[in-house]
Amino acid sequence: MSNRWSGSRTGGNVRIRMMDVIDIEGVLEVEALSFSTPWTKEAFYQEITKNQFAYYFIAQLGGKIVGYCGLWVVVENANITNIAVHPEYRKQGIGEGLMKGAVDMAKMLGAEKLSLEVRVSNEGAQHLYKKFGFQPGGIRKRYYTDNQEDALVMWVNL
């Protein structure tokens, strides 16, 4: 998949680049530390090898994967499927770098709108998304299966 995007985005010593199969184990560590119902190895493998609409990025510090972001782009609509930063590396601009990579990719592929879902209780993530112009667009009731929490749908015109 790395051939779908030339270049990387850097912020300090953190490098943002396209995810490859070899990165899945590191992504799984971030996933398990970030979510109560983490995706499986097979789910990530299918996304980056079989899903023609999917684009996944990792944030790498040295040789360690410290974050990742997933993006689907279907015609003029794009959706951030997931984004996570290792707990030890949060609040250092890594999430912002991943979001910038996703927004840039969506624009490059011709998307006109970008959406995502976020837990209504996750005010920190909502603040990050608002930095990129995202606005609330609705609620998905009982969206999260672990605790039936609602999701706030957020949108931005690109």
Residues marked active site are found at 117, 129
Report the C-alpha gap between 131 and 82 in whole angstroms: 17
For residues 27 and 65, the answer to whether their CB atoms sit within 8 Å is yes
Helix, strand, or coil (residue 26)? helix
